[in-house]
Structure 1
Amino acid sequence: MNKVANALYAGRKFLLILWIILIVGFGFYAAKLPSVLGGNGFEMKGMYKDTEQLLVDKFDVSEAQIIVLFEKKDGVSDSKFQQTIAQYMQKAKDKSDASKVDIPTASNKMIKGSTAYGIIHFNHDDGTMDKRVEKIRTLSADEKEVSVKLTGGPIIEKDMNTASQADLAKAEAIGIPVALVVLLLAFGGVVAAAIPLMIGIVTVVTTMGVVYFFHPYTELSIFILNVIPMIGLALSIDFALLFINRFKEEIQTKSVEQAIKITIQTAGRSVIFSGLCVFIGLAGMLFIQVDIFQNVALGGMAVVFIAVFSALTLLPSILAILGTRINRLRILKVSEQGGQSRWRSFATFVMKKPVTMTIVSLIILLVALIPVRDMHLEIPSSEALPTKYESRQAFDTYNDTFIN
């Protein structure tokens, strides 16, 4: 580890330049990642999937369908309602290059009262569904006569992708400021507190760019947008806390070079060991033949590797450049020695009463497990979407009117 520490310190400027190139390069592809994500991740190879494919290949069952929900306005005659629907469905078929359309009539039970639905069929779900859906959305019907809403698998998947991105932005808007406050309480200074967040953001963006290149070889679920930031930010901040704390201790009595090298040899070893444990744990999910678990494993393993790599290369480079300026812009007075003695006292207390602390910990964990008995698990569908989405509203109406 001594040779590694010497090499990392000697190449600190090169590593910093390398990371700038990596951030710019992979950042470009990170922005494109949402465009290649799709599905809820709960699909797997098996009898159900094989039967679906057999129906498509042998019995001319369409591979993808869009449901168009029509609702008649007051004062519109039934004949006018059906005429408007037929015109809309024909335009939708022509505009989207669909294989066929099912037009609702009173005889096929696709009309009930003031509500009706039509189905647009596509023989090939070849990655162009988003463009086809947008073409259908450009069609208009007379709003005074009928309202039109779109739903179905392709649209729900796209909306779930959009909702995941919105939730990710909301989580970051809440989580990052909270993390910054916690880091300020831990370090007392803006500079020291900002570094873990910066490392976390760099790790997440770089990982998303890396994962983008996996999409030609495996199905990537939309939930990977949540997995990578969740694991990446947590690990990066954790590793940076460990690293910066040790550096701040060493810089009080040693030169910057010595402090960096000792930190790499000590905290760096802990980072590698911790990251390896998480990496191995996530790798176990690769053997579960369900997309979402393999996605969690893939995204998690990638972000763990990059979190460790950034903690051992980018973080020491930044600390070497900052040196004693790591303590700049203090806004809170933090007694580091006092903090150390408090943690040491707590650790000593725990070690003196191992049986008691084990029993207390188990009781806390068992109490925390109580809500699990009321947990309801199901595969995400339209119900996973907020009710503000049109596809959710239309699908609920379709189910309530024609299915239930």
Structure 2
Amino acid sequence: MFANWGSLAYRRRWVVLIATVVLAVAGGIWGLGVFDRLSQGGYDAPASESARANQVAEDAFGRQGGDVVVVYDTVDPARLQQIAGKLAELPEDAVLRVQPPIPSPEAGKSLVAITLRGSDSNTHVKQYEQIADRLAVDGVTQQVGGLVPTQQAINDMSSSDLAKAEAVSLPIVLVLLVIIFGGLVAASLPVVVGGLAIMGSLGVLHAISLGAEVNSFAVNVASLLGLGMAIDYGLFMVGRFREELAAGRGTEDAVRRTVMSAGRTVVFSATLLVIALSGLLLFPHGFLKSLSYGGMSAVAIAALVSVTLLPALLGVLGHRVDKLAVPWRKDRGGPSEAGWRRLASRVMKRPVLFVLPIVAVLLALGAPFLGVKFGEVTEKVLPEGNSARVAAETIDRDFPALASGGLKIVVTGDPSPADVQAFATGVGDVAGVGETRIAAEPKDGVWLLTADLEHDQLSDESKQALRDVRALAGPGTSEVLVGGSTAVVSDSLDAIRDKLPWMVLLLVGATFALMFLAFGSILLPIKAVVVSALSLSATFGVLVWVFQEGHGADLLGVTPAPLESGIVVLMAAMVFGLSTDYEVFLMSRMVEARGRGATTEEAVSAGLAKTGRVITAAALLLIVVTGAFAFSQITMMRFVGVGMILALALDATVVRMLLVPAVLKLLGNAAWWAPGPLRRIQERMAIHEDVPAEDEKVPARV
């Protein structure tokens, strides 16, 4: 199949080239409309008890709390009357309710909560933009915070950081590609693929946003993976094409063989990564689904462009792919491959001396993850000094009763006032719960209670208090729903915990099945999963040590805090997917050599010699692309950037270049074994094509 496609891509190269570019560019132009449809929400579990509590309370009493919170630096009655008058002039189509100023004489400040009229986060941001410039009062200093201003600040900074990251990383990537390929023409091809992949993924995200919620971070993920994977795939394809040309083959044959070998590996690798990212769809959170949309579309389009546009473009260029070569360019092959062969030989001479220390170090690096704590997206993801974060810190300090969050308890079923009061007393007696009060007059048989928490809302004590309150018997036959910030985070974590085993099963099952069909071995897929798990645990251990425990946090400019669970799940999918990505690149060449009769040692040496330089170069380029996010102002994106740097550096060097060859040496011939019945199934369903011998020489022709 891939050989036939390679031949067709060459024969119809101009049609394929023009069609791919037109579709990608048109999709990108239309995709710009997604920026007006991006959401800022989706972090909670929509079917959870806390979500139902919020919905019942909203249906009965209207939306509670303030979307925008303004702290004015005055408690003077005349000034407060002036503030109230000013806020009363806010447009009714944007503002549902303005709470009267709440003074704090001790702090000399007053707080006003504004509830916006919209029903979703995207509408809230637009309504806030309508009133943002109308909150100031002459002669009074104010600070603006709350959920919506915080969301807008995160969105604005993430968009700005994305533009800066691409502006910085692209020139560096191009320079590195010129050094790697030794010529400007060859170096520009992966960048072209990356640009088209990003444009195409924007079009897909816009289409998805017409029927589903798409969080703004989906664009960041699409840009990161679209550019990064396109460069990886382009590097692999162009490198193989030049290798075929150097072997004396003509352009058509080189294109066909490139698609048949490297193209198949790219599609296979992208399929594994798409499946890994599809695991995010198992979770009910709109945020995780959005990240899945962005990641899957970017990776799929990067692979699609790599096996359509790139073969056609290579067919047009032929030997001109080496044009504009740099003066210091060296001949390909020889010394570089010899160095990787020597490394493989050294590792396989003493495999145990490599396996044991590497596994021990990876496990030690992963140990801090055993103490991981999960939280939510708060103003702390913003840099210190940001106005929304400063306002939140002011509220926490000067209005602690309003900032504590607490529990929001909804009682339905029209219970008697006496029963509700007795229930409220029981809630107040729960350890860790402070004052409990009836927050509003009952309406339509629904009561609303609030309960203060004596500890931080995300502490273990508060989470236990939540569980204890939920365990209380309701008044009479009434149904009790407990919501609030602590409940939202706890329910979100529970939803992730419930679905996580299914995601792991999907990743492991898909990896095993596809790698078995591709390589015809039972132990190779098992080894791939175990090695990827070691790399993943080491990465997360270091991230917990820095971002949660605070070691080196000052150097990174982040505030230590519990990790946002959604970002951790995203990182797990991406790191596992990329680990198997490099595994496929490496093993595909080893299996090719093995298929031509090489011993295990010879196959490992050949595979490392052919892909060692490509894998390390691909990892370096992806580190530059993703590492640019390590300088983001948003902690979540900085977490992703640092995590990707760690994961790629570990995986592409220590794991793939040292651990994998050592393990294969220990496994010996068993590495390639499969039971007879499974072997026959694999031979019937195999997703590989025989590649002629590497040293087969044919007359060069164009």
Structure 2 length-normalised TM: 0.53
Counterpart residue number, 1:318: 313
CA–CA separation in structure 1 for the residues paired with 2:94 and 2:236 = 57
Q: What's the offset of the Cα at 1:360? A: 4.2
Task: Select between 309-318 and 183-192 the one with higher mean Cα deviation.
Answer: 183-192
Q: What runs of 5+ residues in structure 1 fail to find an aligned partner?
A: none
Verify: 1:37 aligned to 2:31, yes or no. Answer: no
CA–CA separation in structure 1 for the residues paired with 2:10 and 2:27 = 25
Matches within 5 A, 1:178-217: 178-217=172-211
Counterpart residue number, 1:390: 387
Task: Select between 259-268 and 163-172 the one with higher mean Cα deviation.
Answer: 163-172
Counterpart residue number, 2:330: 334
1:177 to 151, 171, 174: 171
- Secondary structure at the counterpart of residue 134 of structure 2: coil
Which amino acid in the other structure matches residue 339 of structure 2? R
Task: Select between 183-192 and 336-345 the one with higher mean Cα deviation.
Answer: 336-345
Task: Select between 338-347 and 40-49 the one with higher mean Cα deviation.
Answer: 338-347
CA–CA separation in structure 1 for the residues paired with 2:33 and 2:220 = 15
Counterpart residue number, 1:363: 360
Question: Do the aligned partners of residues 211 and 97 (structure 1) sit closer, same or farther apart at CA in structure 2, a change above 3 Å counting?
Answer: closer
Matches within 5 A, 1:71-220: 71-72=73-74, 78-92=76-90, 94=91, 96-106=93-103, 113-126=107-120, 127-139=122-134, 141-143=136-138, 145-220=139-214
Which amino acid in the other structure matches residue 181 of structure 2? F
Verify: 1:295 aligned to 2:296, yes or no. Answer: no
Q: What runs of 5+ residues in structure 2 fail to find an aligned partner?
A: 404-702
Q: What's the offset of the Cα at 1:262? A: 1.2
- Secondary structure at the counterpart of residue 303 of structure 1: helix
Contact 2:29 2:199 in 1 (8 A): no
Q: What's the offset of the Cα at 1:402? A: 0.3
Q: What's the offset of the Cα at 1:33? A: 2.5
CA–CA separation in structure 1 for the residues paired with 2:142 and 2:20 = 50
Counterpart residue number, 2:268: 273
Deviations 1:125-164 (A, max 9, x none): 2543333222212326444x20233322222212211111
Q: What's the offset of the Cα at 1:40? A: 5.1
Contact 2:277 2:296 in 1 (8 A): yes
Counterpart residue number, 1:54: 56
Q: What's the offset of the Cα at 1:368? A: 3.5
CA–CA separation in structure 1 for the residues paired with 2:279 and 2:127 = 39
Contact 1:38 1:157 in 2 (8 A): no
Contact 2:69 2:144 in 1 (8 A): yes
Contact 1:68 1:148 in 2 (8 A): yes
Contact 2:97 2:116 in 1 (8 A): yes
Contact 2:7 2:252 in 1 (8 A): no
Question: Do the aligned partners of residues 360 and 321 (structure 1) sit closer, same or farther apart at CA in structure 2, a change above 3 Å counting?
Answer: farther
CA–CA separation in structure 1 for the residues paired with 2:301 and 2:66 = 37
- Secondary structure at the counterpart of residue 118 of structure 1: strand
Deviations 1:251-272 (A, max 9, x none): 2312221211111111111111
Q: What's the offset of the Cα at 1:171? A: 2.2
Contact 1:64 1:125 in 2 (8 A): no
Which amino acid in the other structure matches residue 58 of structure 2? V
CA–CA separation in structure 2 for the residues paired with 1:120 and 1:151 = 11
Q: What's the offset of the Cα at 1:104? A: 1.0
Counterpart residue number, 1:378: 375
Contact 1:96 1:135 in 2 (8 A): no
1:224 to 218, 222, 225: 218
Which amino acid in the other structure matches residue 59 of structure 2? D
CA–CA separation in structure 2 for the residues paired with 1:183 and 1:156 = 39
CA–CA separation in structure 1 for the residues paired with 2:42 and 2:135 = 33
Q: What's the offset of the Cα at 1:51? A: 0.7
CA–CA separation in structure 2 for the residues paired with 1:359 and 1:178 = 37
Considering Cα pairs closer than 8 Å and 6+ residues apart, tell me whether 1 or 2 has the greater RCO.
1
CA–CA separation in structure 2 for the residues paired with 1:238 and 1:62 = 49
Matches within 5 A, 1:344-363: 344-363=341-360
CA–CA separation in structure 2 for the residues paired with 1:303 and 1:83 = 53
Question: Do the aligned partners of residues 356 and 113 (structure 1) sit closer, same or farther apart at CA in structure 2, a change above 3 Å counting?
Answer: closer
Contact 2:93 2:117 in 1 (8 A): no
Task: Select between 53-62 and 382-391 the one with higher mean Cα deviation.
Answer: 382-391
- Secondary structure at the counterpart of residue 138 of structure 1: helix
Contact 2:25 2:199 in 1 (8 A): no
- Paired positions, count: 395
Counterpart residue number, 1:70: 72
Q: What's the offset of the Cα at 1:99? A: 2.2
CA–CA separation in structure 1 for the residues paired with 2:359 and 2:29 = 46
Q: What's the offset of the Cα at 1:64? A: 6.2
Structure 1 length-normalised TM: 0.89
- Secondary structure at the counterpart of residue 5 of structure 1: helix
Contact 2:7 2:255 in 1 (8 A): no
Contact 2:94 2:128 in 1 (8 A): no
Matches within 5 A, 1:17-28: 17-28=18-29
- Secondary structure at the counterpart of residue 213 of structure 1: helix
Q: What's the offset of the Cα at 1:328? A: 1.7
